[in-house]
Amino acid sequence: MHVLRGIAGVLCLVSVLLDAFETVILPRRATGRFRLTRLFYLLTWRPWLWAARRVRIERKRETVLSFYGPLSLTFLIATWAAALIFGFGLIYWAFRTPFVDPHGAAHPLLTDLYASGTTIFTLGLGDVVPRILWVRGLVVLESGIGLGFVALVIGYFPVLYGAFSRREVNIALLDARAGSPPTAFELIKRHSFEGGTAALTVLLEEWERWSAELLESHISYPLLCLFRSQHTRQSWLGALTAILDTCALLIAGVQEQSARQAQLTFAMARHALVDIAQILSARPTQNTSDRLPHERFRLIYDQLCQAGVRVCRDEASFERLKELRALYEGYAETLSRYLAMPLPPFFLEHPKKDNWLSVAKVRAEAEAEDRVVLHDDGEHLF
Q: What is the pLDDT of residue 28?
A: 65
What separation, in Å, do the N-terminal and C-terminal C-alpha atoms of the chain show? 57
d(CA 284, CA 336): 11
Q: What is the pLDDT of residue 257?
A: 63
Per-residue pLDDT of the chain (382 residues; tens, 9 = 90+): 578 888 998 999 999 998 888 888 776 666 656 678 888 998 999 999 999 999 988 889 999 999 999 999 999 999 999 999 999 999 988 888 788 777 776 678 888 889 899 989 888 777 888 888 788 888 899 999 999 888 888 888 888 999 999 999 999 999 889 988 899 999 988 988 888 888 999 999 999 999 999 999 998 888 999 999 988 788 999 999 999 999 999 888 887 667 889 999 999 999 999 999 998 888 888 777 788 888 888 888 888 888 777 777 677 888 888 999 999 999 999 999 999 999 999 988 777 777 777 765 545 544 454 443 333 333 332 2
Q: What is the pLDDT of residue 369?
A: 47
DSSP 222: G
Collect all residues with Cβ–Cβ distance below 8 Å to 212 and sequence separation of at least 6. Answer: 268, 272
Q: What is the pLDDT of residue 304?
A: 84
DSSP, collapsed to helix, strand or coil, labels residue 380 as: strand
Angle between helices 2-20 and 133-173 (to 10 degrees): 30
DSSP, collapsed to helix, strand or coil, labels residue 381 as: strand
DSSP string, 118-174: HHHTT----SSEE-SHHHHHHHHHHHHHHHHHHHHHHHHHHHHHHHHHHHHHHHHHT
DSSP, collapsed to helix, strand or coil, labels residue 182 as: coil
Asked if 119 contacts 26 with a C-beta cutoff of 8 angstroms, the reply is no
- Exposure class string for 288-307: b at 16+ Cβ within 10 A, else e: beebbeeebbebbbeebeee
DSSP string, 64-107: HHHHHHHHHHHHHHHHHHHHHHHHHHHHHHHTT--EE-SS--SS
The Cα angle at residue 105 between residues 103 and 108, in degrees rounded to 5: 125
Q: Which helix (H) or strand (E) segment is 374 a member of? A: strand 373-374
d(CA 30, CA 33): 10
Nearest to 292 by CA among 319, 264, 258, 314: 319
Strand partners, 373: 381
Asked if 293 contacts 318 with a C-beta cutoff of 8 angstroms, the reply is no
The Cα angle at residue 231 between residues 226 and 237, in degrees rounded to 5: 45
Does this model's pTM top 0.75? My answer is: yes
Radius of gyration of the chain (CA): 27
Q: What is the dihedral of CA 340, 346, 348, 351, to 10 degrees?
A: 80
d(CA 201, CA 262): 8
Phi, psi angles (nearest 5°) of residue 307: -80, -5
Q: Would you mind telling me the total number of residues written for the chain in this entry?
A: 382
DSSP, collapsed to helix, strand or coil, labels residue 307 as: coil
Nearest to 184 by CA among 249, 131, 102: 249
Q: What is the pLDDT of residue 98?
A: 81
